[in-house]
Structure formats: C-alpha cells, structure tokens
Structure 1
Amino acid sequence: MSQREHETGDPIAGDFLENLVAAMRRHSAGVFEFENDDTFLSVVLEAESPDISPNTRPHTDDAPSEAELDIVVKSPELGLFTGAGKSIGDSVLRDDVIGFVCIGPLRLAIRAPTDGLITRELARDGTPIGYQEAVFSIRPVIAS
C-alpha cells in the first residue's frame, strides 16, 4: 500500500492512473475496464489511427484488388475474443467497438480504425487470440 493510498484510503490515488495510461498507450489499448464487487473503472483514451484519405484512388492499371485495400484489425492483447455483434457485411464507423479481448475480469475494446465494411471475421467468439493477431478485415469507404 502506497503512502498516499494509506493516507486517503483510495486505491486509485498516487501514480496508479498515470501508470495505467502509460501501459495502455504502450500496448495501444484504447479502453480499459475493471469491475469488482462494488467497483467499476473505465478508462478510455483517444486512439490514434493511420491517416487514410477518403479520396485516395489508384491511378495505374496495376491497381490492387479490393481485398488488397482491406485494413486488417489486430488484437491489442493476448486473451479470449468476444464479438460485439458485428459480422461480415456490416458497416462500421471509425472507433466503433467491433469486438473485445477478455483478460480475466478485464475487457479491452477492439475498435474500427476507419469507416468501412467488415469483409472478414478472423476470430470466433470465445476463442483464444494472440497479441496483434488479425481479428477482422475492414474495407475502407472511398468517397466518390
């Protein structure tokens, strides 16, 4: 028990939140949730995603196929995959929760990195997934 926690009786006092946020950023986790008997803690960080220009179009005859344009969404951590009700063909918006990685009592959200359509589900509900394992493919929406 830290000096500050001992003084205040608050287990979140001191450097806990700073250390938690640093760990979340280090592991690219945008959401941290913890639930215990009478405690619920949810920390949400604004996720950084790659810049994707909606007007980007290939200009050559060697243009990649649509499947090659898909963005692979990877697991932020090792754990059990749980879906969030999204399936192939569903439309998603950037930062929509499309699944979760469960690690004991923790649930880390897997968020869509861009607006688009889910083209592949690569993990099944309740199955173990590894760190940075592909769980979905999303075809970005390209504005016309």
Structure 2
Amino acid sequence: MSRVNFGDPAVIASLAAALEAAGVDGIEIEQDARKVRIVIERGILGAVPQVDASQHSSAATHAISVAAPTAGLFCSAHPASVAPPLELPREVVPGEMLGFIRVGPILLPVKASGTGILMRSLAGDGSLVGYGEPLFEIEPCP
C-alpha cells in the first residue's frame, strides 16, 4: 500500500470535502514527524476547513495530551467514589487513572499515557466528549 502525501493540497481538499459530507468536525493524522489537522468550522458562511500542518519531534518537550478513548460523558471520578477530585498540578505515572468516560451504564477508564505533571483538565465533569478529544495535559518530566 502506498503512502498518502498529506502535503498535497488536492489530498487535503478531498479529505476536507469527505469530512464535511460525513458531518465530521475534524481529523488529525500523524505520519512520521508530520502532523496534519483538519478542522471543519461551521459558521455563517457554512463549513470552512482549517488546516494545520506542522512538524514535530517525538523527543520534543511538548505537553502530552490524554485523549478520550471513546465518545461519551466525562466523569472526573468513579460515581461510587468518595475521594476528592484530582488536585492540579500533580505528578502522574503511565496507567494512572485520571477519570472515566460513561457510555450508558458502562464506565471506560481514562489513564495517564506518560510520566509527568498533570497540569490541566480540559473537560468538565459530566461534559459530552468525542472520541480522541483531549481531556488532560501532562507536562513531561525532564
């Protein structure tokens, strides 16, 4: 299978048209050291694709984003828990439980994806989140 050239404007236009036709708000694709993000913003003039193509290094010290494993309602703690909410900032390790996504009666865990300092929670308790939506930012430890 051949690799798709995400630097080609025709490919970007085709992807944006497919996203708009499907009613999808955006997509992010990573390939090697290149990231392409297409976001469809709907406004007065209709859907306007916004493209952000950036180079990044996996060794960079950018914040680690913890994303929603599926669409659902974000819960900052287990409903049966009496523990206080997470204090920010605080140190976290990979696999540490940060919250849950509720899909009907099912709770899916949201776990830290790396070691670092949990700096921000990006979703409010009980808010509706989409698949892959950033929920937390973790600053890597030096």
Q: What is the TM-score with the length of structure 2 in the denominator?
A: 0.51
| Amino acid across the alignment from 1:98 | L
Q: CA separation in 1, counterparts of 2:71 and 2:122?
A: 15
Aligned residue number for residue 75 of structure 1: 68
Which runs of 5 or more residues in structure 1 are unaligned?
1-52, 57-63
Q: CA separation in 1, counterparts of 2:108 and 2:86?
A: 16
Could you tell me whether the CA contact under 8 Å between 1:115 and 1:140 is conserved in 2?
yes
Q: CA separation in 2, counterparts of 1:87 and 1:106?
A: 25
How many residues of Structure 1 are paired with residues of Structure 2 in the alignment?
78
Aligned residue number for residue 126 of structure 1: 126
Aligned residue number for residue 98 of structure 1: 98
Bigger share in helix: 1
Deviation for aligned residue 1:88: 2.4
Aligned residue number for residue 137 of structure 1: 137
For 1:94, what is the secondary structure of its paired residue?
coil
Q: CA separation in 1, counterparts of 2:99 and 2:105?
A: 16
Deviation for aligned residue 1:78: 0.5
Q: CA separation in 1, counterparts of 2:88 and 2:64?
A: 14
Aligned residue number for residue 108 of structure 2: 108
Deviation for aligned residue 1:87: 3.8
Which runs of 5 or more residues in structure 2 are unaligned?
1-57, 78-84
Q: CA separation in 1, counterparts of 2:87 and 2:68?
A: 16
| Amino acid across the alignment from 2:69 | P
Could you tell me whether the CA contact under 8 Å between 1:98 and 1:111 is conserved in 2?
yes
Alignment RMSD: 1.9
Deviation for aligned residue 1:86: 2.2
For 2:113, what is the secondary structure of its paired residue?
coil
Q: CA separation in 2, counterparts of 1:88 and 1:77?
A: 24
Deviation for aligned residue 1:90: 1.5
Q: CA separation in 2, counterparts of 1:99 and 1:87?
A: 13
% identical equivalent positions: 35
Q: CA separation in 1, counterparts of 2:137 and 2:103?
A: 23
Runs in 1 of length 4+ with deviation above 3 angstroms? none
